[in-house]
Amino acid sequence: MKATDAEMMLFGDDDSEAPAEGTDAEPDPSEGKSKQLLELEKLIVALEALPPYENDIDYRMAQIYRQVERYWEAVRFFDSVYAADPAGELGERSIYEVVSLLLENLGESSEAEERGFAYMGQYKEGITPRQIAYMLTGHYQQEKNMAPVKALLPYLDGLVRTNDTAIAKYDAELYFMQGVADLMLLNYEESEKGFKRVLDEFPGSHQEGSALYWYGMTKLFLQKYADSWPDFERYTHDFSDGVWIDVAFFQGGICLFGMEKYDEALERFSLVIKNYPDSGIFPGACSMRGDIYGSRGGDDLDRAITDYKMAIASAKKPNQATYAVFQMADIFEAEERYDEIVGVIQGYLDQWGAEADISKALFWLGKTKIQQGLVDEAVESYIDAIVKFGADVREDGVDMMIAELVKVSAVWLGVAAQGKLMDDLHAAWEAATNPVLKLRLRVTMAKLDYTEIELGKRLIKELPDLESASPPVLAAICNASFEMEDYSRAEELLRIFIIKFEDSDYMRAAYRLQGYGQYAEKDYEGALKTIEEAQETYGTDRDVAWAQLMKAQVLLAMGRIDEARDANMSVLSVPAWRGEPVAQATFQLGQVEEKEGNLRMAFGFYQRTYFQYKGHAGGHWAAEGYLASARCLQKLSLEDERISTYQAMLFDPYVNDLPQAEVARKALGAGDVAEIEAFIATGGSSNIIIEVETGAMLDVTATETNTMESATTETSTVESATTETNTTDAVGTEGES
């Protein structure tokens, strides 16, 4: 039967056959419903699926409150939206706004961090967690507090990666800033890894050029000159229009200089000077080329001076002029051109005024006065400058004055003038209130009266931390620790120097402490690295002879016999190392031969040590030479010669009261010892001769420094002196036997 119009409106006009009665067919929800009714149902479902409209209202209210600077109200409305729909678009916008308001407008950084980190920990996809990480990074950077930036790294690693361009750009930027944070925190090894990660994981990113440049710089800071060189070369080729192009060329020159490729480095610095005259790196290139010319001497000194003058004239910052000025002063001093030192220093002070390194300038003016015979005036100016500038822990000019005062006191001042100097320093110490200055003055006085080690031991106990310790104070602590063989703080002390006082001359004490500490712990590779750094910095200065001597011992401990022998032999040819270093090297040559089983050759070196160098190091190496000689003789089953060696040791006034002599006393027995002592008491002396066939020995030919006579004889014969004082012409000298 045909449906009526009313039925058709309500149920529709579906003429399909109804399912048979008793079947299992599911009833159709739309069965019997009109199209109009079905459309209404769809609209209701769509309305129900819409987010609560109040979220839009709350979001707009939050924006209004933010606009009128009622920030807390804005935070509360944004919070309401985020709580209602945290994963939705409005929710993501709202949490970002909450963190932004807390951080930038309300100064509630702790709460902002808490909210931001909580969100990043929960939501790991999309752009919003990255935007929050970027915002926090920028805040830390603006506050110059890079340590918290590193706390973001685990959250960054937890984010889900995507190929989305915008997200990938955020990731590259955030990981780049991780490398920057490590760089600013002086964690160069981690910084190197961070920039490498950007290069490896985000090739072609907007930060690729900068990451490459700083990747090279971190290795340069670690003195990996050969490793960083290719990075700067790649930058100059791949990023010729990059922001770092001029600096990359310059840093490439630094790498070449560090690799001791001085001719190539000079060409590179010349290229920078020619192509980038308006660059901020131009003064540095002039100074570096000046250094290379200056190292050559001769006619190149004039070229060096010309380059330093160009650096001074083009300097845009005081430190660029400072380096060149004092390098030029060094040249003038070597040529005794003191008036020119005064001229260049005065011009520097006039140009830069309060921005100049005034204390270092006063140091140089004082040195000039000393050479001009105005010693009292120089001393007075140094004391005044130390008091005026000594409160700043980084004033290395003050530290240079302290070292110069010690030399002036020893060389130029009489007893009365030395007493006045001590009185003036003590008065300054009593009047001072700044802890940095007071410590500096204490160390200065200790250096003058030779009590630096004792002061260092007291300072180890007195100072809760080393914040107020200037380089001379740190050096005193290093020297005291070395004296006590306490290497527990060696790494800490050297790190303080590297971080805060990299250019300080006092750092050599920290290198020595670190090197000996590593040797004591059998960290031979670490010790060799420390030795290399010390020698690169201080060369063949006398007080760094320890580095070459230790290098020989480290190589010997590593079983590298030939290298150990060569390392000891090289000590003999350095004029600055005459005396005690040569005595020690001679003894160590005996150790090398003994370890290789060449007992007769070893005996020859040990014997030479106690015969030729007994006047050095308070007889220490001579005493060690006696004992080592006796040891070799025992291994050779030469018992009579061993006993004679011990007897000669007790007759030798340079060593018979040293602790090592107790070994000889025990070996000889009380009767023989009493007989020797009684004989000496009557004014007697010994004429003991010890002859041992040594076989073919190394050719240790005397050099121009007269360090050692030829050691090519077939026998090693030593006659002890027969005078009442038991002296020889060789005692306290070298190569004069």
- H/E stretch holding 690 reads strand 689-693
SS (H, E, C) 70-132: CHHHHHHHHHHHHHHCCCCHHHHHHHHHHHHHHHHHCCCHHHHHHHHHHHHHHCCCCCHHHHH
Q: Give the per-residue pLDDT at 706.
A: 35
The token pair at 330 is 């060094």
* Cα torsion 384, 388, 390, 396: sign: negative
CB 121 within 8 A of CB 155: yes
Reference 214, options 187, 240, 194, 241; nearest CA is 194
CA distance 304 to 288: 9
Q: Give the per-residue pLDDT at 419.
A: 95
Reference 286, options 320, 243, 248, 332; nearest CA is 320
Name the pLDDT band for 689 (thresholds 50, 70, 90).
Answer: low
Q: Give the per-residue pLDDT at 469.
A: 95
Using only C-alpha atoms, the chain has a radius of gyration, in whole angstroms, of 39
Q: Look at phi and psi of residue 463 and say left if phi exceeds 0, alpha if psi is from -120 to 50, else beta.
A: beta
In this model, does residue 714 exceed pLDDT 70? Answer: no
Q: Compute how many other C-beta atoms are within 10 angstroms of the C-beta atom of residue 448.
A: 19
Q: Give the per-residue pLDDT at 42.
A: 77
The token pair at 192 is 């190197």
CA distance 376 to 382: 10
32-46, 247-261, 417-431, 592-606: which has the minimum mean pLDDT? 32-46
In this model, does residue 709 exceed pLDDT 70? Answer: no
Rounded mean pLDDT of 206-215? Answer: 96
In this model, does residue 248 exceed pLDDT 80? Answer: yes
44-48, 137-141, 644-648, 713-717: which has the minimum mean pLDDT? 713-717
220-250 core/surface letters (b: 16 or more CB in 10 A; e: else):
bbeebbeebbebbeebbeebeebebbbbbbb
Domain spans in the chain, listed from the N-terminal domain onward: 568-737
pTM: 0.74
Give the tens place of pLDDT for each residue, 57-99: 888 988 898 899 999 999 999 989 899 888 888 889 999 999 9
CA distance 239 to 207: 12
CA distance 112 to 114: 5
The token pair at 96 is 């970002």
Q: Give the per-residue pLDDT at 51.
A: 60
The token pair at 84 is 């209602």
Reference 77, options 48, 55, 93, 100; nearest CA is 55
Give the tens place of pLDDT for each residue, 561-619: 999 999 999 999 999 999 999 999 999 999 999 999 999 999 999 999 999 999 999 99
**Residue listed under structure tokens 């401990």:** 557
Mean pLDDT of the chain: 88
Rounded mean pLDDT of 387-407? Answer: 95
Give the tens place of pLDDT for each residue, 437-465: 999 999 999 999 999 999 999 999 999 89
Rounded mean pLDDT of 217-243? Answer: 95
Q: Give the per-residue pLDDT at 34.
A: 72
Q: Give the per-residue pLDDT at 697.
A: 39
CA distance 307 to 314: 11
**Residue listed under structure tokens 């070994």:** 663
Give the tens place of pLDDT for each residue, 458-482: 999 999 899 999 999 999 999 999 9
Residue 716's beta-bridge partner residues? 692
In this model, does residue 25 exceed pLDDT 90? Answer: no
SS3 51: coil
Q: Compute how many other C-beta atoms are within 10 angstroms of the C-beta atom of residue 599.
A: 21
Write phi, then psi, for 688 (nearest 5 degrees): -75, 130
In the DSSP assignment, the letter for residue 223 is T
- H/E stretch holding 716 reads strand 715-719
CA distance 500 to 498: 6
* Cα torsion 310, 297, 540, 379: sign: negative
SS3 610: helix
**Residue listed under structure tokens 């361009």:** 165
Q: Give the per-residue pLDDT at 201.
A: 95
Which residues touch 542 (CB under 8 Å, ≥6 apart)?
576, 577, 581
Name the pLDDT band for 715 (thresholds 50, 70, 90).
Answer: very low
Residue 362, amino acid: L
CA distance 96 to 133: 10
**pLDDT top residue among 228 and 716:** 228
Residue 690's beta-bridge partner residues? 718
Name the pLDDT band for 634 (thresholds 50, 70, 90).
Answer: very high
Q: Give the per-residue pLDDT at 651.
A: 92
Q: Give the per-residue pLDDT at 681.
A: 86
pLDDT > 90 in the chain, percent? 76
Give the tens place of pLDDT for each residue, 150-196: 999 999 999 999 989 999 999 999 999 999 999 999 899 999 999 99
Reference 393, options 436, 445, 441; nearest CA is 436
Reference 195, options 176, 209, 181; nearest CA is 176
CB 620 within 8 A of CB 587: no
Which residues touch 110 (CB under 8 Å, ≥6 apart)?
none
pLDDT > 70 in the chain, percent? 88
Q: To 5 degrees, how large is the angle CA 123–CA 126–CA 132?
A: 70
Rounded mean pLDDT of 196-211? Answer: 95
In this model, does residue 526 exceed pLDDT 50? Answer: yes
Reference 95, options 52, 53, 129, 140; nearest CA is 129
**Residue listed under structure tokens 């490498």:** 196
Q: What share of the chain is helix, strand, coil (3-state, %, to 5)?
A: 70, 0, 30
Q: Helix count (H) and strand count (E) of the chain?
A: 36, 2
**pLDDT top residue among 6 and 644:** 644
**What would the DSSP string read from start to end of 434-460?**
-HHHHHHHHHHHHHHTT-HHHHHHHHH
CB 671 within 8 A of CB 684: no
Distances, alpha carbon 54 to alpha carbons 60, 101, 203, 388, in Å: 10, 22, 45, 68
Which residues touch 100 (CB under 8 Å, ≥6 apart)?
135
In this model, does residue 8 exceed pLDDT 80? Answer: no
Name the pLDDT band for 704 (thresholds 50, 70, 90).
Answer: very low
Q: Look at phi and psi of residue 186 and say left if phi exceeds 0, alpha if psi is from -120 to 50, else beta.
A: left
